[in-house]
Amino acid sequence: MTSAHQKTHKQTHFGFKTVDESQKASMVRGVFDSVASRYDLMNDLMSAGLHRLWKNEMISMLAPQHGMEILDVAGGTGDIAFRMLAKADARITVCDINQEMLNEGRNRAIDKNLVTEIEWVCGNAEALPFESNSRDVYTIAFGIRNVTHIDKALEEAYRVLRIGGRFLCLEFSSMTNDMMQKAYDAYSFAVIPKMGELVTGSADPYQYLVESIRTFPKQEEFAKMMRKAGFGNVQYRNLAGGVVAIHSGRKL
């Protein structure tokens, strides 16, 4: 029998597993520690290179401008930041909870001679180490489904943006065709963990990743969460039939 003095721990999803909320951040960190050096290679293999087109679409929607102050969250390897810099001389900060991913991004920045162009900060999307009303744009690609409290991450995104600032989120979502969704699920669970094991030496991180996609809110539900956090002009665009979606909003 539970003692009245014992604490009750809130539960959350870690893929299909149920874990204490206090454990999830460190478990997610462990996942990305183990795959950091081959993260983008696996993205290429898992999506047959389509993730590049999806990211380019998000950058096109953003249309970065010279001098724009952009915060890219969960962007440790720099993949989004480098794409934005190729479009405009913006002031970009990459924030990621995982130091190994940031190390990978910094190394790539050195290779690209962009080491002074980007600020790299280790931080939690649910408690960003930045001042309120300090950024023109907040982007997050394939990262928000990994946070413990999506609502808190959205509130933090809203807080750090200036009035008129823009929020853009690229994330795996739900397909609009049920038969295609079933085929995609079968591929994801049968192929991706095995592919991850061959490339990185471990299937577990990719088993978690495909499970985390299935537990993420569907398009309209996530849009409602954005509105609840305060965002206006909330819209979303499905890509590849809803395999991924780009959600956007503004701080009005």
Domain locations along the chain: 24-250
Q: Please tell me the predicted confidence (pLDDT) of residue 37.
A: 62
How far apart CA 86 and CA 1 sit, in angstroms, is: 60
The pair of structure tokens assigned to 250 is 């503004």
The pair of structure tokens assigned to 37 is 């050096």
Residue by residue, DSSP assigns 13-51 as EETTEEEEHHHHHHHHHHHHHHHGGGHHHHHHHHHTTHH
- What CATH architecture is 24-250? 3-Layer(aba) Sandwich (3.40)
Task: Print burial letters for 20-31: b (CB count within 10 Å at least 16), e (below 16).
Answer: eeeebbebbbeb
Q: Please tell me the predicted confidence (pLDDT) of residue 4.
A: 44
Q: Hey, which of 182-191, 194-203, 204-213, 238-247 has the most confident mean pLDDT? A: 238-247
pLDDT tens for each residue of 109-157:
999 999 899 999 999 999 999 999 999 999 999 999 999 999 999 999 9
Q: Containing H/E element for 199?
A: helix 178-200
Decide if 230 contacts 211 (C-beta within 8 A).
no
Average confidence (pLDDT) over 61-74: 97
Q: Hey, which of 12-21, 207-216, 219-228 has the most confident mean pLDDT? A: 219-228
The pair of structure tokens assigned to 71 is 């915060």
Q: Backbone phi, then psi, for 202, in 5-degree steps?
A: -145, 135
Q: Backbone phi, then psi, for 201, in 5-degree steps?
A: 95, 0
pTM of the complete model beyond 0.75:
yes
